[in-house]
Amino acid sequence: FASWMVSRWEQGTNFDDGLKGAGAIAATYNIGDTFNIVLGVAASSKVVGSGQSVNPFGLFSWKIDQRHTFSTSILEAKLRSTWSDSITTDIYARYTGRRWRLEDRDDGVVNHGSMRDRSIPIGVGLQWEFLQGWRLRGDFGVVAYRQLKTTDEHGDTVDTRTSNAPGVFA
């Protein structure tokens, strides 16, 4: 079982307006030392409006050999390679989605709204554990897809911008 709280908000908005709580419970099943399957359900509150969302999830990992592990879920695929006790690399593609609570503008358009950011980054990550428990990580890649969507207090779309042209990130 895991639970967490997060707050995302535009400057001028109260911290608690962007507050979102979530929790998940899952069960794991190992098939020898090679395969691992995790199935569970996650529940979270909504940043805009009231109510909760409940979603099932699943994760699958395959330990290819002592050095390489492939893992996947509905939203991500990743190949992790361990080169030494301190150096690890990842090659990944994932779908990400975040929502921010916008400032109350009282403009009759966005009033009490939110902005949603959805993207698909494809990248390579390098992690160095320079002291036990202390890690330094760097990532480089492209964002293959990105959509920004602004909605009002009722969840109705005010504006949407989509970019299919790749963008570089580091």
pLDDT at 16: 67
Distances (CA, A) of 147 to 95, 121, 160: 11, 12, 7
Residue 157 pLDDT > 80:
yes
How deeply is 66 buried, as exposed, middle or buried, from its count of CB atoms within 10 A (0-12, 13-18, 19+)?
exposed
Separation between Cα atoms, residue 104 and residue 110, nearest integer Å: 8
Separation between Cα atoms, residue 7 and residue 5, nearest integer Å: 7
Asked if 20 contacts 46 with a C-beta cutoff of 8 angstroms, the reply is: yes
Q: Global pTM?
A: 0.79
Query: pLDDT for 9-44, tens place per residue?
Result: 567 666 666 677 888 999 999 999 999 999 999 998
Both tokens of residue 63? 């330990």
